[in-house]
Amino acid sequence: MRRTLFIGAFALGIVASLWATTLQKLSTDDMIRQSTGIVRAKVTGSYAAYLGRDIYTYYQLQVTETLKAGAAQSVTVAIPGGTAKGVRQMVPGAPVLKTGQEYVIFLWTSRSGLTQIIGLSQGLFGETTDASGNTILVRSASTGLVLNAAGQPVSDQPVAMSLAALRAEIASVLGASK
């Protein structure tokens, strides 16, 4: 009986680990360099569909400002997870965007043309306004297992910065890479 329970628990652990998400921790500078575009955009709609065996939620974005060239005025971004044909897949670390909400998004478009958010939730910042009327970008700490470049687990921290500071950092990073 104990052996059966042990084997069952072991098998459950293996299955659970298959669904875990592992993210490499990215700095803002890493995301600036690796992104194919950085935009401020408003979510105008969404739908979920299968892509192979996986479900993705596709969000339609209306770009209000381009912070790094590479994105059109309208973009569809694919985020793993969602509900399609009565089946729900959840991916730890995958953000859920809200229709009508405006975000700053670090985009990456693959050779196949699929556009995603860099580092799942790491590349998505919500917008708020401080008491002086300045736009502040915020994101929660990433969920799932986050690793540093050496592959060691690290804790992720929430991030808050002004839009002006991000613009300056983008200009600095892109200017230095030329």
Residue 25 lies in a domain: yes
Residue 55 lies in a domain: yes
**pLDDT at residue 167 greater than cutoff 50:** yes
Distances (CA, A) of 164 to 46, 141, 168, 171: 29, 22, 6, 11
Strand segments (E) across the chain: 22-24, 37-51, 54-68, 74-80, 82-84, 87-89, 102-109, 115-117, 124-129, 135-139, 145-147, 159-162
Look at the chain and report how many structural domains it folds into: 1
Which of 172 and 150 is assigned the larger pLDDT? 172
**pLDDT at residue 51 greater than cutoff 60:** yes
The parent domain of residue 168 ranges over: 21-176
Residues 53-66, mean pLDDT to the nearest whole number = 97
Q: pLDDT averaged over the chain?
A: 85
**pLDDT at residue 109 greater than cutoff 80:** yes
Q: Which amino acid is at 169?
A: E
Single pTM value for the model = 0.81
What CATH code is carried by the domain that includes residue 146?
Answer: 2.40.50.120
**pLDDT at residue 9 greater than cutoff 50:** no
